Amino acid sequence: VPEFELIAHLSEPPAEVGARLRAAIAVPIEDQLQWRTEWEAWRTWRARVEAIGVLVFQFGKVALAEVRGISLLHAPLPVAGVNGKEIPEGKSYTLLHEVVHLMLAAGKEEKPALLEKRSGAEWQQVERFAEIAASNALIPDQALRTVTGSRRAETDWSLDEMRNLARRFRVTPLAMATRLRESGVMTWARYHAWREAWKKLVASLPPRRGGFATPPEKAINRSGRPFVQLVLEALDANRISSVDAGRYLDLKFEYFGKLREMLSQGPIGGSPDE
């Protein structure tokens, strides 16, 4: 597992931090604009973040209203956790948002929650920093300017226009609107009006139905390839027992043969049923 080496400071422009994160995870904008589905986007972002030394987990049984993501500031294996109930394009944003928090922690700008002394207002400033940095990592400025052209900030954006633009980058319409607002392509007043209309539309939509995934697929989707491989290596080296391995992966030992087979076949993930 590579060592996580990215560092950020609150004194830096958050857009520059986002650009640095984007460069580190090395996702060409040409590839991003050609992704066929949101699941392909999520698999790619996750794999690239794992490649820079972050363990990426998905957790369930927690409502989205309670938490969408969490970062565990441990070295040498920091963790970014994403709520499995989130839609795939939302997961991508949450993941990069949490990685920004890990960068700030590496720069001694954040501490674990129990040790934090910031007030609520001060913490909101940190969240705002992470929000801007993550949105810039997802949608580089030059690419944004290319697709928006000479669009003025005072122009209204319809729900369909925003959805179509978001689909190009495989992000949520809300994340796209936030990026436009942050870049000056959308005023605060028009952003708030658009967001209220979007919230009403989302509330009227039926919930997405999940698909089916086998227990080994769920284990990989939930824990990520690096962690699964670490557990299997520890098991093979007799450092942990089969009972330990099953508990770490939340998987019955009878499925471990299939799990090894799936890992050897290449990237797995993206099933609607996480």
As a residue count, the chain comes to: 274
pLDDT in tens, 49-77: 999 999 999 998 888 889 999 999 888 88
Average pLDDT, the chain: 89
Q: What is the pLDDT of residue 75?
A: 81
Q: What is the pLDDT of residue 271?
A: 44
Q: How far, CA to CA in Å, does 190 sit from each of 154, 166, 185, 194? A: 7, 17, 10, 6
Q: What is the pLDDT of residue 203?
A: 80
Phi, then psi, of 82 in degrees rounded to 5: -125, 135
Q: What is the pLDDT of residue 54?
A: 96
Q: What is the pLDDT of residue 99?
A: 98
- Locate 146 and state its tokens: 């290319």
Q: What is the pLDDT of residue 178?
A: 87
> What are the 10-residue block averages of pLDDT along the chain, 274 residues in total?
92 96 95 93 95 94 90 90 91 96 95 84 91 93 85 79 92 89 88 89 73 87 94 96 96 94 70 44
Q: What is the pLDDT of residue 274?
A: 46
Q: What is the pLDDT of residue 24?
A: 97
- Closest alpha carbon to 44 in 267, 271, 199: 267
| Distance of alpha carbon 174 from alpha carbon 195, whole angstroms | 7
